Amino acid sequence: MNDNIISLSEFANRPYVFRNREHAGEILGDMIREAVGENAILLAIPAGGVPVAMAVSEVTKIAFDIAAVSKITLPWNSEAGYGAVAFDGTIRLNEALLKRLELTDHDVREGIEKTTAKVKQRNRSLRGGRPFPALAGKTAVLVDDGLASGFTMFCAIDAVKNAKANEIVVAVPTAHSQSATAVAEKADRLFCPNIRGGARFAVAEAYENWSDISEQELLRMLDLA
């Protein structure tokens, strides 16, 4: 395993280790509390990264903000993606996967346009029109509720690099071992208590209680925060 991957051996290759996203964020917060310094900001990737980041912020007292990133999904499967769009307009396409898919150039352009519109709308609704925080000289801690393929996180890392962050840290409760390794190669450090291997992986299987989070639920969370 890479030297810049920090995990917890007692959680390795175990399913259902967290009660919920908040519990996962508390554990993650304990891991990074002394590691990232005062000049850091948590950047939560909606939707699942928001409750995780809020719990991390409670433990660490590090401020958090929203970094909207969304995968570009297949026309026939809204769960599967072939790329991602980030808050600053950064686009990353999975070229290897696209070669195997029967998508036209029009399909790809349409997917990018729809996803870009979704990211812009999320920026407006979840960030309330506030400008994105200046990252130059700061440690940017990207938080999500897990890494499956890791492709959305690759796009988020690209965007944060464009914003001139001094250091890029990825903090996720759970990840597939291959994705953890790939993401760690692009970030400065990766904190992940629950790393699992195997042919089959689902982020949800790290959590006893799991459900999708609607936009309305996100807004309520942020209002309470």
Per-residue pLDDT 10s for the chain (225 aa) are 678 999 999 999 999 999 999 999 999 999 999 999 889 999 999 999 999 999 999 999 999 999 999 999 988 887 788 999 999 999 999 998 999 988 999 999 999 999 999 999 999 999 887 889 999 999 999 999 999 989 899 999 999 999 999 999 999 999 999 999 999 999 999 999 999 999 989 999 999 999 999 989 999 998 877
Give DSSP secondary structure letters for 47-73. Answer: TTHHHHHHHHHHHH---EEE--EEEEE
3-state secondary structure of 35: coil
Q: In the structure encoding, which two tokens stand for residue 114, read together?
A: 């729809």
Tell me, yes or no, whether 89 and 153 share the same domain.
no
Tell me, yes or no, whether 89 and 75 share the same domain.
yes
Tell me, yes or no, whether 14 and 91 share the same domain.
no
Tell me, yes or no, whether 204 and 156 share the same domain.
yes
**Half-sphere CA count of 75, side-chain side, radius 13 A:** 13
Q: Is residue 93 part of a domain?
A: yes
Q: In the structure encoding, which two tokens stand for residue 5, read together?
A: 């991957």
Global confidence as pTM: 0.94
d(CA 190, CA 179): 11
Tell me, yes or no, whether 24 and 88 share the same domain.
no
d(CA 158, CA 127): 20
Tell me, yes or no, whether 148 and 201 share the same domain.
yes
The number of distinct structural domains making up the chain is 2
